[in-house]
Every structure is written in structure tokens, then in C-alpha cells.
Structure 1
Amino acid sequence: MDIHEYQAKEILAEYGVKIADGGLAYSPEEAVQRTREIGGSVWVVKAQIHSGARGKAGGVIICKSHDEVEAAAGKLLGKRLVTHQTGPAGKVCYRLYVEAGTEIAKELYFCLLVDRCAERIVMVGSAQGGMDIETLAATQPEAITKIYIEPSVGLQDFQAREMAFALGIPVSMLNAAVKTIKGIYRAMRANDASMVEVNPLVITAKEDLIALDAKMGFDDNALFRRHRIAELRDKTQEDPREMAAADRGLSYVGLDGDIGCMINGAGLAMATMDMIKLAGGEPANFLDVGGGASPERTEKAFRLVLADKNVKAMLVNIFAGINRCDWIAEGVVQAVKKIDMKVPLIVRLSGTNVDEGRRIIAESGLPIIMAETLAEAAEKAVQARNEVVANAAG
């Protein structure tokens, strides 16, 4: 789960990380009121969406008068911002963060994230911060420093100092740098975050170290014990299909294809999507219904997949170990009878009670296409999809 910049900054500030004065606004009038509360003569109006590279997309505007702030807020609110992270669909801005202008002497990059291969938190930093960190990583990887943190002892002072030196922070600011780096680390560990990125972390003209931007991502599996973090969720920034799935306890990831998938087991789901691609099709989603898929859960999964209007065929692929094929078959039949199925349905069952499951589907009288193997199922799904497209075109 991701959160907004202003939310991440509020969390970091609780752990001793300095941030610029700022406030939230939902209208141009509120934006102007925030500038009056902040004071000063320069402000930055920032669109709050779950994406980086907002500056390149026009989502960050520097203003030097209240009229400019009002105009900037009017321009950004309701605007769909498209970045390399949002994809072509973009994300709509419904709230703004108005922040005091900062006199920047130097921009740095700092990040903490879970390296799953190393099974450690890795600290990543560069003396060349700013919007083009991705380009820097590709063209000058030597400009980026990585320091791995031993889980049993946590971040040590000498590691924080090593990173501070790598960032080119002056010796006079070393204590402040160590405090900031350790504060970011504590914020990450204390809230079960999987990533904290501060880009840029800036040195001001007065030699203050300020988090000028911040992103935080959290482990969804830990939200049950982080109620405060869970309440920061902004559903307007999420794929509505994925949000609906999460609310129903299903593992769903929306994709750009048109063959809907309902599968039990993440590994089998990945293999099924690969087979669809190999057969010349494009999967519309990743959906793992899990090992205990009851008929009711199966029906929920059906409705979720078919809610995507791009789906032109649906493939159900079940290998029953913990589960049972007859349960899945009952769920499939129940779902098809209740839902107005307008697309071809291909079902492949294997494992526990497979013969009973196939019998239930065969005797249902429903127009369900059966397959014996995964390869056959993928081929039939692509064929059915192509027929739907051809009929629509004709």
C-alpha cells in the first residue's frame, strides 16, 4: 500500500526528520489559506497522487503570490497526471499539498527498501538527487551507494556516517545527517514499511537537512497490526479492480489484456499467464483465489474478473490439492447461472476429485468449454477470444 507525500512527511517528522512547513488543501481557496498560515513569499503547490515524477508531469508549481497559488490549485485539482509510473491512464489529483519555498543549496537522493534477494534492508543514496535518479542509475551506477543493514543489529551509527560521507554532506552537518538517516530507518521499521524514498533530500542555504519530498510503501500483510497506516489508504489512487479484490480477500492484479483468469495458486497463475502469451493471447489479470475457494468465493472471483469490460474470454484453471475440484465446479456452475455470462468460458480442472468436478460441469448443461491440459486450455481460450473479436468486427 502506498500513501501520499504529505502523509509520509507527517510520519517522518515524528521520528525527527525535518520537513518544510506545509498544509493540505482540497480547493483553491484552501490553498490560499494554507499560504497565509505558512507565511513567507514563495510557496510550492504539489499535486498529491501515488506516483513519482510529478514535477515532469506538471504536478509541482512554484508560486510567488496568492493569485498564483489560487491559479495553480485550480489547474491541478481534478487534473489527470500521466507519468512513467502511472502508465497512460494516469491518476487524477483530488488534493494538494502547499509547502513553504526552500532555498536549496544541494539536492541528494536517499532511500531505504527491502532487498528480497539479500533478505535485508538496503540503504541507497546518491549525491546527485533530483528528478532524474532513474537516468543516473542507468548511466552512472557508480554514483549510487548501497549499504546493507544486518537485521539482527539494525542500522549502526557508522553506517549512517558512511552514507552521509557518500552523499557529500559537510562535516559540520554530520550529526544532523546521522539523526535524519536513523530517523528515516526507525520510521520504516516501526511502521512495517517496505520502502521509504526521500528525493530530494536537500541541504539548504542555512545548512539544514530537509526531506523535500517523501514516498512510503507498506507491506499489505502487516496492515492488520498497523491500523493507523491502513487508515491512510486512498482508494481514489488505486485500480478499482484491485481495490475491490482486496476488500474481498482476493489477490488480484489488473493487466492490459482481454483473457480473464481465475486460478488457485500464485505459481500456477504465473504459468497460466505465460501459456496464454505463448498461445498468442494477452491475460487481462492475475487472480489467485487461494487454496480454500468455496463456491461463494468462486462466485466473487467470477464477478470481479467479468467486471473488467475488456475481457473477451475467461479461463478457469484449478489444480486442487488443499481444495477440491467438485467444490470449484459447483462454484463455477453457481456463478455462471447467477451471472449473465456474455463471454466464452474455458475450464481446466486437475487434482482432488477431478472426475466429480468434470461430471458436475458436464451435467450442468451450460456452454462451458472443458480442457484437459494447461496448454490446451490456453489455446482454447485464445481461440475463443479471437472468435469473439472476429464476430464483433464482422
Structure 2
Amino acid sequence: MLMLQQSLSKTWSSHIWLRLLNDLEKILSNHLVSTTILLAVQLTPRRWLNLQEYQSKKLMSDNGVKVQRFFVADTANEALEAAKKLTTSVGGRPRQQRSCLLLREDAKEFVLKAQILAGGRGKGVFSSGLKGGVHLTKDPQVVGQLAKQMIGYNLATKQTPKEGVKVNKVMVAEALDISRETYLAILMDQSCNGPVLVGSPQGGVDIEEVAASNPELIFKEQIDIMEGIKDSQAQRMAENLGFLGPLKNQAADQIKKLYNLFLKIDATQVEVNPFGETPEGQVVCFDAKINFDDNAEFRQKDIFAMDDKSENEPIENEAAKYDLKYIGLDGNIACFVNGAGLAMATCDIILLKGGKPANFLDLGGGVKEAQVYQAFKLLTADPKEPMSTRPGTFSVTADSPLLRPSTWRMQPRSLWPAWLRNDSFVLTP
């Protein structure tokens, strides 16, 4: 337990653990699930579904949330044609969807966004030499020229591997003037055992920076999942975000629609940054990020059918076939662990002692023999992860900071080898 607590630090592994806790707590907090059923539930590691921005915006638009007019293109010519379409009226949109879009008869400016599942696109760099994955222009021809330097090239950001991620699609959207930007998110909060509204009047920037520098500007509303969001909560959040007069009611209405969407699609997070207002007096969701509860795939088949695995490493897709949770990292020490908590603690200890894990691999509690076999095949196929093939042994190269097996069977501390029981955790031969 101590090792698990140590792993809950400000590292990438903490986020993975909290997401696992959220999935479990959603099951436990459901009053309709009996004790008998709970005992039969077997949680297996899953790859969490994340949608591209354009897919999230379509879901929002289809559910009454106001977004910009946009098109998606996978060639430079399609991007050019999309920009030309935006200079005309809404056209072929169904009438019931038109009220959910912020429309002008013609777009005066366009925003072109590379579509990848990573943040920091605006400051990213393409392998083509183009700087920035988000561009503004008033010329449709420039849209096509920029798209030509995006599509088919890798975009590297602070959240991607060093080599970046290949861009297969771009989103061409109507660029609207923003008179004010705020931040809004709905997420599952483990400490509250349910959904929470999180907002800030400072939007358009990293919310982590706002929380660190101005924590008084972060507002929260805990929602009773059985009662749903109350009008008073939506109004209070709208007011805390700085919306006044008619805009307050409009913002509250959008907040309620976002919450209804959150429940309808079994999301674990709906984040809008910026959640802004235009000079014309409209409240708009200018950006969208939605994460989903993969345990609800059986009733969200249409959404999960949109899953784009093209950005995954082939090894991650192969692992998913066998319900193995694999995340590739940059190190050379392989980790093969039964249990997410121990896996994260192992990675943290390796980093603490100067090593670099090559992967996160969790077999889960209900692992079968075939899954263990496939897991070893995955690890031995990765050139970064040298290991022996002797049964029961998992070793690393002689030049590694860790000259011991990098995973162990969980036993009482008294049964651990002396070198592991050492409180200083100095791993020596």
C-alpha cells in the first residue's frame, strides 16, 4: 500500500490510477447494482476512448450545444473546398441543427486545426517545417496551402512522442471573434464520488496554470448524480464565470445541455476551453475534449465506432486485442506487472533510481495464460526492452541502473529479499 501511495504523485501514473478509481466508483455508486452482481464484476484493463475535436464538436452540436460551423478534410483540396463552403450560408444542415451553430451568412475568417489526440497543437512543429497546428487566415487559398503542409506530416507537441504524430485530417472552421474566454469542465471526481462542474473566468489558457497562480478563480459545483444538475447550480456557475444579463441565462442553458450530454454518452470528462462569448452576444463552445467510460461501450456502440486507432503504436493496438493495457515509454527497462497500482509504483521507483521504464504493462486481476503469453511476445518484440526468456526471470542489460528483475510477485514484506527490504531502496547486485 505504501508503494501505491508513493506512486500517487504529480506524474503521468497518477492520472491513470485516478481514472481506474473513477471507473470503479461509478459502479459502486450505482444504486441499481446489487451486491451479488458487484461480486461478479471483473475489471480488466482497457484502452480509454478519446475522440478527435471535430468528433466531439459534432456530438455537442447534435445535442443542442452551440459550436462554430466546421468541416473536416483529409486532403488539401478538400480543405480548400471546405473554406469556400464556409463563405456561403449553412446549406445542407438539417433545420433542427441550425440553432446549435453560431452562423453568419458567410465566414470572414477561417481557423485551420490539425486533428490529433494531443494538446499543445498551437505551439507544435510539423515534420514539413510548418510551425503551429492551429492557423487563422482570411484567404481560402491559404487554407489549402497550409493544409498541404499538415496532412500526411507528423506534428510534434509537448504531449506527443519526440517524432510527433501523423496528421490524417484537419478541421476547417468558421473563425468567430471572442470578446471573452472562460473555462468549463464536467468530470467524474473521485473525492466527491460523482460528477463535478469546474469553471474559471480565465479561459483559453492551461487551467493548471490558473489553479497554481490564482486558485481563487477556480469554482466547483458538486452534482448529485441521482438528482442531476439544478438550475441554481447552472446559474451560479454562469455567474462565477462572469456572464451577465441575458448571457447568464444563455450560459446556464449551455451548461445544463453539456451536463445532459455528459450523462447521455457515459463520459468521464467534458472539457470546453474556451467556453466564450462573442461580440454579438452569443455563448459558444469554441473547443471540446470528451473522455468516455469504456465500461459503457456496450450501450454506446455508435460512439465507440468512431474510435480512431491510427495514432496508436502498432504494439498498443496488438495489446488491446488481448485486453492488455500497454503504454509505450521512452526508456529501456521493461515492466511486466500484474496490477495497475504495482505497475505504476514500479515505474515510479525505476524513475526514482535513475532508470527509465520502457513501458507500462498491466495484466489485470483476471489474466489468463494466453494473455501472459501474448504479453511476453509484445515485450520481446520491442527493441527497447532487452530481457531474457528464461521462465520466471525478467532481466535488464548490464548497463542499466537496475541490475535486478524489474517486477516481482507481491508477498509479505518479511519474505522480500534483503536487497528489496532495505528501506533506502538502493537496488544493488
TM-score band, normalised by the shorter chain? 0.7 to 0.9
2:95 equivalent in structure 1: none
1:48 aligns with 2:115: yes
Work out the percentage of aligned pairs sharing the same amino acid. Answer: 38
Which residue does the alignment assign to 2:79?
31
SS of structure 2 residue aligned to 1:237: coil
Deviation at 1:184, TM superposition (A): 0.8
> Which SS does the other structure have where 2:147 is aligned?
helix
Q: How far did 1:314 drift? A: 6.1
Query: How far did residue 229 of structure 1 move?
Result: 1.6
80-89 or 110-119, which moves further after superposition? 80-89
Alignment pair present for 1:265 and 2:332: no
Larger Rg: 1
In 1, distance between residues paired with 2:161 and 2:406? 32
Q: How many residues align?
A: 341
Output one character per residue of 1:1-36: Cα deviation in whole Å (capped at 9) or x when no partner.
Answer: 211111001111122111111100001100011112
Give TM-score scaled by structure 2 length.
0.72
How far 1:151 moved relative to its partner?
1.7
Distance 1:311 1:164 in 2: 51
Q: Is the 8 A contact 1:315 1:377 kept in 2?
A: no
CA contact (8 A) 2:337 2:407 kept: no
Match of 1:302 among 360, 364, 376: 376
Q: Give the counterpart of 1:139 among 213, 233, 240.
A: 213
The one-letter code of the counterpart of 1:26 is: D
CA distance in 2, matches of 1:201, 1:22: 17
Match of 1:200 in 2: 274
Structure 1 residues 66 and 191: CA distance shift in structure 2, 3 A: same
Counterpart for residue 366 of structure 1? none
- Which of 227, 245, 254 does residue 301 from structure 2 map onto? 227
Match of residue 147, structure 2, among 67, 73, 79: 73
Give the conservation status (yes or no) of the 8 Å contact 2:419–2:428: no
1:272 Cα deviation from its structure 2 partner: 4.0
Q: SS at 2:256's partner residue?
A: helix
Contact 1:348/1:377, CA 8 A, preserved across alignment: no
CA distance in 2, matches of 1:214, 1:67: 27
Bigger Cα displacement from structure 2, 241-250 vs 262-271: 262-271
Whether contact under 8 Å (1:260, 1:314) holds in the other structure is no
> What 5-or-longer segments of structure 2 have no aligned partner?
1-48, 88-106, 125-131, 394-399
1:288: Cα distance to partner? 2.3
Tell me the equivalent position of 1:22.
70
Per-residue CA shift, 1:105-163, capped at 9, x if unaligned?
Answer: 11111111111122121111111211343322221111221111122211111100001
SS of the residue aligned with 1:243?
helix
Cross-structure match for 1:180: 254
Aligned match of 1:166? 240
Cα separation, 2, equivalents of 1:190 and 1:76: 34
Output the amino acid matched with 2:70: G
Where in structure 1 are there 5+ consecutive unaligned residues? Answer: 317-328, 334-342, 353-371, 385-394
C-alpha deviation, 1:275, in angstroms: 5.3
Kindly state the Cα deviation for residue 373 of structure 1 after the two structures are TM-superposed: 4.3
Using the TM superposition, give the Cα deviation of residue 168 of structure 1 relative to its aligned residue in structure 2, in angstroms.
0.9
The answer to whether the 8 A contact 2:335-2:407 is kept is: no
- Give matches, 1:327-342, under 5 Å: none
Q: Distance in 2 between matches of 1:61 and 1:374?
A: 57
Alignment RMSD: 3.1
2: CA distance between counterparts of 1:378 and 1:259?
21
Distance in 1 separating the partners of 2:404 and 2:121: 41
Tell me if structure 2 keeps the 8 A contact 1:259–1:314. Answer: no
Moved more, 62-71 or 269-278: 269-278
More strand as a share of residues: 1
Contact 2:346 2:407 in 1 (8 A): no
Q: Is the 8 A contact 1:28 1:74 kept in 2?
A: yes
> What's the counterpart of residue 110 of structure 1?
184
Letter in 2 for 1:264: N
